[in-house]
Amino acid sequence: MKILVTGGAGFIGSHVNKLLLDQNHQVTVVDNLSHGSKDNLDSRVNFIQEDLNDQPKLEEILPGHDAVIHMASLIEVGESVKNPVGFVENNILGTIKLLEAMRKSNVKKIIFSSSACVYGTPLKTPITEADSLQQQENPYGLTKVSMEQLCILYHKLYNFDVTILRYFNPYGPGEQHIPETHAIPNFIKSVLAKKPIPLFWKGEQVRDFIYIKDLANAHILPLTQSGLHIYNVGTENGTKVIDVINKIFEIVGYKVEIDDKGERKGDVQTLVASSRKIKNDLGWEAKVGLEEGLKETIDFFNR
């Protein structure tokens, strides 16, 4: 298939591109490089530096593609609180312009990168896809809910095939966001530099850490699905943040100090997915355990 990946110069996109190319798909990446990097791009990718908000350009690029994997987004929660207008313009307006350009180009299949953030403060654990999206905590989560709704609307109005993937906590080689606010890369970088690890809530929060290669795999089967589908993509295992740190210490064979940062407003205590639905529908499930995933991630940062 000929697939257009928006935001494909970012962390997750770079892994998805490689997987698609290895399976003989053709990949066009549209990315404005506001956060990603050309260094993340496989040499086989057809790269176009472009912003989603340039709808006429998208209408030139899209014809002839079979599907879009829509990953382009501003993603940093704290930044979204400081700059809600920028997040709405980039994420929501960017998405409606992409969908319109797709409609006009007759490209009617989209796989959308959503997030566990849409559940805000979840009312129960594990979280299923039917759970409430009413408890929004920040503009980033709200833009993701809106982006999902726009995709769903284009399914209803124009019969688009839509698969929404709600990622839980991805981690793995290549994760180098600027700024980096995610736990695992920051912990590993501190440990390798033998510096104290900044830690909130004494590491008692529970997260569902999903290894990047498992996550990338979840994008393949939806390419041949029709209709509307919404899936959580997680391991179904909750891990305390402090246990991740202890596992990293075990792998490297030494410990560093913990820099106790106390509590942080807006953090959710527990986020664990039920991924039954994607397993039942597509046979996808996470295969890489935390120890193996951490080892590969530590190797990456060591290199």
- Catalytic positions, please? 140
Question: For ligand NAD, what does the binding mask look like between residues 47 and 66, x meaning CB under 6 A?
Answer: ----xxx-------------
User: Minimum CB separation from ligand NAD for residue 295, in Å?
Assistant: 20
d(C-alpha 136, C-alpha 134), whole Å:
6
The residue within the footprint of ligand NAD, chosen from 120, 139, 170, 293 (CB under 6 A), is 170
Give the nearer residue to ligand NAD in terms of CB position, either 29 or 256: 29
HSE (CB half, 13 Å, CA atoms) of 2? Answer: 10
The size of the interface with ligand NAD (CB under 6 A), counted in residues, is 29
H or E element, residue 210 = strand 209-211
Residue type, 150: L
d(C-alpha 155, C-alpha 227), whole Å:
7
Question: For ligand NAD, what does the binding mask look like between residues 110 and 149, x meaning CB under 6 A?
Answer: ---x-x----------------------------------
- Interface segment toward ligand NAD; rule CB under 6 A; list 72-80, 120-128, 148-156, 264-272: 72-80
| 34 sits near ligand NAD (criterion: CB under 6 A) | yes
With the CA atoms of 176, 180, 184 and 190 taken in that order, what torsion angle do they form, in degrees rounded to the nearest 10? 100
- For 187, the token pair is 């912990």
User: Minimum CB separation from ligand NAD for residue 59, in Å?
Assistant: 15
Verify cis geometry, omega within 30 degrees of 0, for the bond prior to 170. no
User: Minimum CB separation from ligand NAD for residue 16, in Å?
Assistant: 9
Would you list the DSSP string of 39-92?
Answer: GGS-TTSEEEE--TT-HHHHHHH-TT-SEEEE------HHHHHH-HHHHIIIII
| 12 sits near ligand NAD (criterion: CB under 6 A) | yes
| 90 sits near ligand NAD (criterion: CB under 6 A) | yes
The residue within the footprint of ligand NAD, chosen from 17, 28, 73, 275 (CB under 6 A), is 73
Give the nearer residue to ligand NAD in terms of CB position, either 217 or 256: 217
Would you list the DSSP string of 236-275?
Answer: S--EEHHHHHHHHHHHHT----EEE----TT--SEE-B--
The residue within the footprint of ligand NAD, chosen from 177, 213, 276, 295 (CB under 6 A), is 177
| 94 sits near ligand NAD (criterion: CB under 6 A) | yes
| 214 sits near ligand NAD (criterion: CB under 6 A) | no
The residue within the footprint of ligand NAD, chosen from 9, 101, 199, 248 (CB under 6 A), is 9
The residue within the footprint of ligand NAD, chosen from 19, 21, 33, 228 (CB under 6 A), is 33
H or E element, residue 293 = helix 290-302
- In DSSP terms, which residues pair with 171 in a beta bridge? 211
Q: Are 27 and 1 in contact (CB under 8 A)?
A: no
d(C-alpha 184, C-alpha 195), whole Å:
15
User: Minimum CB separation from ligand NAD for residue 273, in Å?
Assistant: 11
- Interface segment toward ligand NAD; rule CB under 6 A; list 25-33, 219-227, 250-258, 283-291: 25-33
**Phi/psi at 294 (5° precision):** -65, -40
Residues that bind ligand NAD (CB under 6 A): 6-7, 9-13, 31-36, 51-53, 71-75, 90, 94, 113, 115, 167, 170, 177, 182
